[in-house]
Chains A and B, each alone.
Chain A
Amino acid sequence: MADTDAAGDADDEGAGSGTAGGDAADRSGDDADRGAPAAPTGGLVVPVEPTPTLRATIAYAVEAAVDDGFSTIHLVEIASWRNGDPDADSRAAKAERVLERAEAWANSDLDDLDGDRPPVTVATELIGADEYLFGPDDYVRVLAAYAKEHDAGAVLLDPEYTPVGNTTLLQPLEFALSNTSLTVETAPVTRPTRRERLRSEATGGRFVAMFGFSLAFYLLLGDPFYWFDWVTGIATAAIVSITLSRVSIDTEPAIPRTPMRVVRGVIYVPVLLFEIVKANVEIARVILDPRLPIEPTLNRMRVIVGSGLPLMTLANSITLTPGTLTVRARDSDLYVHSLIPSARDGLFDGSLERWTRFVYYGRASARLPTPRERDDCAILQGPDATEELPIAAADGGAEPSESGETPPEPDEGSDAATPEVTDG
């Protein structure tokens, strides 16, 4: 433990505050802030709220606890209600669930660390429910009392921590905490946002395609036999294609390929319509049945259709056919929620996937094994579950298995790491 600490300190000689950096190397930057007092022992208090950055904050708390030698991580939820309020019970139950989830994350992170599990315990507590709390000072008072009682010397704040509604309490909280003997740090984690560039290169082909499409759309809404509509239409189409041709069209239109895709798409539409009507009748029967015989599960399916427009077509087709709903499309992994088992089986038989391949790549590539034969599908819930539900990974935290090495910056790692299927 001492080794890692020393190394961390050396690394972070010049680093600023803990909040500035975003990556794992910064994790001991807070030591500089803490100044003279030796690394605190005892407990680390982490106030918990269901924020998008909670997962990453917990991962960071575990790192910090291991590196700085805390013996206990206290996950506390400060109640923003009072016992005896009309909905106090349901809110407390909700808070308990959040705490349970946070505890499970912390424990799994501890288990996943290299080598033996460090001697860190995780405690959860719901505090402050016996009185109304007004403003940051009250919160800090409750926190400080808890910390004193449990011999904890440090507080780690989630950067999105907002105990009361949507008011930003973080800065006042930090300020109020700085008046206590506790050491305070904000976890250097960021909310998962994706900011990749949408644009592709501007080319003549794209411009012409976009121009023609928008002009046709304009004249369809207007009157194609009136000269003024042509003038305004050309002006509008020019503006649209100058600004948006790089954003909207993602692959270069090519002469034999693009019209062929359109023709095959026209073949696909009646097929899809028929599927929709057929399956809708089945779903209508289920929904109107007084017993409501549904068996919803979440499933994962890896599809081979390429990315971009084909994937969108497939995901939308899946959503349109009743009983299945695309919840998440992560590269070529589709998370599909299914309402009834027969819809799920139909999905795994992959007829929609085959049709999408047919529309975009022609007849030859339609003949691939179904997802079931490829073993590319999994049920994530219910009695037949074959895989765990990835909810923990979904809300922004790093994958539990990786969190030992790389806690924050989940946006780049998790999205770029998975291989992408390209046209072919």
Chain B
Amino acid sequence: MSVVDAALVAGYTVGDFLLLAAAGFTVLAIGMLYRAVKGPTMQDRVLAVNVLGTNTVVILAILSAALSEPTFLDIALVYALLNFLMAIAISKFTVERGGVL
């Protein structure tokens, strides 16, 4: 019997709880979207998108645990890599235009 199926309260399992938590993370991510839209500077936006990306990784991982879909974790891993690369590339590109690419 795995932890995901363990009963928590009133017939709900840990899996249900994790799904709820993923919903909570999504709500927080929507909050951060405000900063990505508002800015005001380019760096603010990159920062907000980076935080959003980290959040997405966590959501993917939690979904993978809650739904017992181990492949989601691979996607989360790739997403984390791309997220990091995005932040580095954009900040390098704004400082040293043409210096990296």
| A contacts B: CB pair < 8 Å | yes
Residues of A within 8 A of B (CB): 52, 191-195, 221
A193 vs B96: C-alpha distance in the bound complex, in angstroms? Answer: 6
CA A52 to CA B99, docked complex, whole Å: 13
Is B98 among interface residues, defined by CB-CB distance under 8 A?
Answer: yes
Known: A193-B98, A194-B99, A221-B74. 12 other contacts (CB 8 A): A52-B95, A52-B97, A191-B96, A191-B97, A191-B98, A191-B99, A192-B96, A193-B96, A193-B99, A194-B96, A195-B99, A221-B77
Residue of B nearest to A160 (CB): B97
| Cβ-closest chain B residue relative to A166 | B97
Complex CA gap A191/B14 in Å reads 55
Distance in angstroms from A411 CB to nearest chain B CB is: 10
Q: Tell me what chain B mostly uses at the interface: helix, strand, loop, or mixed.
A: loop
Taking CB atoms, residues of chain B closer than 8 Å to A191 are: 96-99
Name which residue of chain A comes closest to B94, CB basis: A52
Chain A positions within 8 Å of B74 at CB level: 221
**Using Cβ atoms and an 8 Å threshold, which residues of chain B touch A193?**
96, 98-99
- Residues of B bordering A, CB below 8 Å: 74, 77, 95-99
A221 to B95, CA, bound (A): 35
Closest 8 CB pairs of A and B: A193-B99, A193-B96, A191-B97, A191-B96, A192-B96, A194-B99, A193-B98, A194-B96
Q: Is the interface of A mostly helix, strand, loop or mixed?
A: loop
- Chain B proximity of A98: nearest CB distance (Å): 14
- The distance from the CB of B89 to the nearest CB of chain A, in whole angstroms, is 15
Q: Which residues of A contact B98 (CB under 8 A)?
A: 191, 193
- B95 closest partner in A (C-beta): A52
* Chain B residues whose C-beta falls within 8 Å of the C-beta of A194 in the assembled complex: 96, 99
A194 to B98, CA, bound (A): 11
Q: Which residues of B contact A221 (CB under 8 A)?
A: 74, 77
How long is the Cα–Cα vector from A20 to B24 in the complex, in angstroms? 58
Q: How far is the CB of B7 from chain A (nearest CB, A)?
A: 30
A-B contact pairs, 11 of them (CB 8 A): A52-B97, A191-B96, A191-B98, A191-B99, A192-B96, A193-B96, A193-B98, A193-B99, A194-B96, A194-B99, A221-B74
Docked Cα-Cα span, A194 to B99, in Å, equals 7
Docked pose: A20 CA to B95 CA in angstroms: 23
- With a cutoff of 8 Å between Cβ atoms, the chain B residues found around residue A52 in the complex are 95, 97
Cα of A191 to Cα of B95 in the assembled complex, Å:
9
Whole-angstrom distance between the alpha carbons of A192 and B96 in the complex?
7
Q: Which residues of A contact B99 (CB under 8 A)?
A: 191, 193-195
**Bound complex: CA of A52 vs CA of B92, how far in Å?**
13
For B98, the closest partner residue in chain A by CB is A193
What chain A residues lie within 8 Å of B97 (beta carbons)?
52, 191
Q: How far is the CA of A221 from the CA of B96 in the complex (A)?
A: 35
Q: Which of B74, B77, B96 counts the most A-chain CB atoms under 10 A from its CB? A: B96
Residues on B with C-beta less than 8 A from A192 are 96
**Least distance between A52 CB and chain B CB atoms (Å):** 8
A189: min CB distance to chain B, Å: 14
Q: Which residue of A lies closest to B100 (CB)?
A: A193
Closest-CB distance, B87 to chain A (whole angstroms) = 13
Q: Write the nearest CB–CB distance from B68 to chain A, whole angstroms.
A: 18
Assembled-state Cα–Cα distance A221/B99 (Å): 34
A103 to B96, CA, bound (A): 24
Q: Which residues of A contact B77 (CB under 8 A)?
A: 221
How close is A244's CB to chain B, nearest CB, in angstroms? 15
Q: How far is the CA of A52 from the CA of B98 in the complex (A)?
A: 13
Complex: A52 Cα to B74 Cα, angstroms = 40
Please give me the residue from chain A that is nearest to B77 by CB atom.
Answer: A221
